[in-house]
A and B are shown apart, each in its own frame.
Chain A
Amino acid sequence: AQKVTQAQTEISVVEKEDVTLDCVYETRDTTYYLFWYKQPPSGELVFLIRRNSFDEQNEISGRYSWNFQKSTSSFNFTITASQVVDSAVYFCARSTGSARQLTFGSGTQLTVLP
């Protein structure tokens, strides 16, 4: 199976620190999509970003930024000046261009301490 690996199971930071969540994926496809979702304690998976395999531009949205490196099959997520409300489990996922299957990583539990 083509896996998505989030090696960091848990991360704890103090408020206002920057934090990077790592994601490495396997794929044999040339066309695929990468996603990040946030799961707060309420349980709902909140969509954060989607990138396709042809677009390696990094993206910034407020305090969030994403670094897509096709050469290393990585799609890392950085939160700048973290806040307590950022505490959640973050999931990286991959889908192929022609399938509905999302393969998720096992998630990274981020705790931001006040």
Chain B
Amino acid sequence: EAGVAQSPRYKIIEKRQSVAFWCNPISGHATLYWYQQILGQGPKLLIQFQNNGVVDDSQLPKDRFSAERLKGVDSTLKIQPAKLEDSAVYLCASSPGAGIGYGYTFGSGTRLTVV
């Protein structure tokens, strides 16, 4: 079974620039998550999709972050404009469903450095 694919692996941008990350979940997984993981901390949920609909985006900084999951398969996360504090690893995860007990599979993440 192929894992969760993310690209790019690394990205360095200047503050106020824009950046986009891409995620392809495990085939058939209805639920897709984007997490932000700052160095030395656990992941923080940014947004959760169920198929192509948003379930939870309460912690997404909507003034600068946006995400979409067209057709309910792959997803993109965009930051515009980036700030220094956005430097982090952005993890994508998928699960078969959004209910209790489902296993999550994480991608390797995109490490973003904002300078």
Q: Do A and B associate with each other?
A: no
Q: Which B residues fall within an 8 A CB radius of A?
A: none
Q: Which A residues fall within an 8 A CB radius of B?
A: none
